[in-house]
Amino acid sequence: MRSAWLQAATAVLVFGAAACASKPTPAPPPPPAVAPPAAELARSGLAVVKQADVVLRDSSRNREVPVRVTYPEGSGPDPVIVFSPSARASARSVDPLARFWATRGFAVLVPGHADAAGAPAGDPDDARESSADATPDPRAWEASARDVAFVAAATGAIETRVDGLKLDEARLGVGGQSFGAFTAMLLAGATVDVSKKERAKSFADPLPKAFLLISPPGKGQQGLTEKSWTAVERPLMVVTGTRDSGTKNQDASWRLDAYQLSAAGDKFAIFIEGAGHASMTGLSAEPGAAVPKAGRKTTTADAEVAIFQDVKAATLAFWEAYLKGDAGARAFLAGDGLAKESDNRAQLLRR
């Protein structure tokens, strides 16, 4: 007869073996993410896009800030893009980009800065940034940065003013074009020398998750120095092109400083052959738009449409990757699909 302890030990061993036998098989690893084609990224979605104009009051500055809201109807809560237009341009100057992003599930908030009162939507014949975009006035720098930070923090107030709008403030990015890109980079943490006594001033805002800079200025302008981008660590994308020179005739590569001089990791640059200062917002790709000129050179309407397709594909992938966490978009940013599909017209750089 077995002893009691031997019977107990045998039962434990049998139970343990049964438990091991019934242990579930580990799930196979997920398949690698597949990068969508650039043509698919550049295609508008099926969502119905709505637009509304609201006015918010910033009591801390006794200032009213108009905001143009472009959003997909019937969805939400949607990730948010706060986009600052170029100097003297109205919020409507961003409509082509805003409408596109909205069809792909983003709500776009475009503040109207103080200098935009009565300004036209934009002059597509001006292929180089205006002197207003290179203003040396630090008061204008701060006013624009505070406008964008105020709108980014006011998603709840904006929701109450727009029927059907639902915003996800936890997934918010900031972008801008030209002087608006300068504003966006300030919120990203780029520092500027305001005066000889006040150097490396920061306007960084912790709320945005990612930053898109279209035609941003480089060092040597608006208080920007070689060390201005040292503290910029969050995801960032710069978009420019070969015809996107500065007011002081800086080469277009000057606009890549924010990409090259910021902290490595999640940094991207799109450099497009033939793209000028007015090419990237899509105004010159609209039906019937005037074709931009740069000196004696003039692009074609077809070329402007193709350039804007590149911009849409790249910027959507960036927002999808960093505001939605989309694995396919990340794969696109890590690959060479944009260059291949554009016959090397558009180069996607990363570091």
- Tokens representing 45 are 């979605």
How many domains in the chain?
1
Q: What is the rounded distance in angstroms from the CA atom of residue 213 to the CA atom of residue 239?
A: 6
Checking if the pLDDT of 164 tops 50, the result is yes
Q: Is residue 230 part of a domain?
A: yes
With CA atoms as reference, report the closest residue to 236 among 201, 209, 217, 271.
209
Give me the mean pLDDT over the 52-67 stretch. Answer: 96
At 86-98, the pLDDT tens digits run 888 888 889 999 9
Q: Which domain holds residue 167?
A: 37-350
More confident residue, 18 or 248: 248
**Rounded to an integer, what distance in angstroms lies between the CA atom of residue 282 and that of residue 124?**
10
Residue 13 lies in a domain: no
Give the pLDDT confidence score for residue 1 in this predicted structure. Answer: 43
Domain for residue 12, yes or no?
no
Q: Is the previous residue joined to 31 through a cis bond, with omega within 30 degrees of 0?
A: no
Q: Mean pLDDT of all residues in the chain?
A: 88
Does a structural domain hold residue 104? yes
Residue 347, pLDDT above cutoff 90: yes
CATH number of the domain bearing residue 304? 3.40.50.1820
Q: What is the pLDDT of residues 184-236, one digit of tens each?
A: 999 999 999 999 899 999 999 999 999 999 999 999 999 999 999 999 999 99
pTM exceeds cut of 0.85: yes
The answer to whether residues 68 and 112 touch, using CB atoms and an 8 Å cutoff, is yes
Has residue 5 been placed in a domain? no
Summarize the confidence of residues 53-78 as an average pLDDT: 94
Among 57-71, 205-219, 230-244, 290-304, which is the least confidently predicted range? 290-304
Strand ranges, E, within 19-140:
49-58, 63-72, 78-84, 107-111
Q: Would residue 197 count as lying in a domain?
A: yes
Residue 337, pLDDT above cutoff 60: yes
pLDDT tens across 40-59, in order?
A: 999 999 889 999 999 999 99
pLDDT at residue 120 greater than cutoff 70: no
pLDDT at 74: 85
Mean pLDDT computed over 28-45: 90
pLDDT attached to residue 36: 96
- From residue 346, give the alpha-carbon distance in Å to each of 82, 141, 232, 329, 343: 25, 31, 25, 17, 8
pLDDT band at 284 (very low <50, low <70, confident <90, very high): confident
**32 inside domain:** no
- Output the pLDDT for position 117: 52
Please indicate, yes or no, if residue 20 is contained in any of the structural domains. no
Q: Is the pLDDT of residue 299 over 50?
A: yes
- Residue-level pLDDT at 286: 81
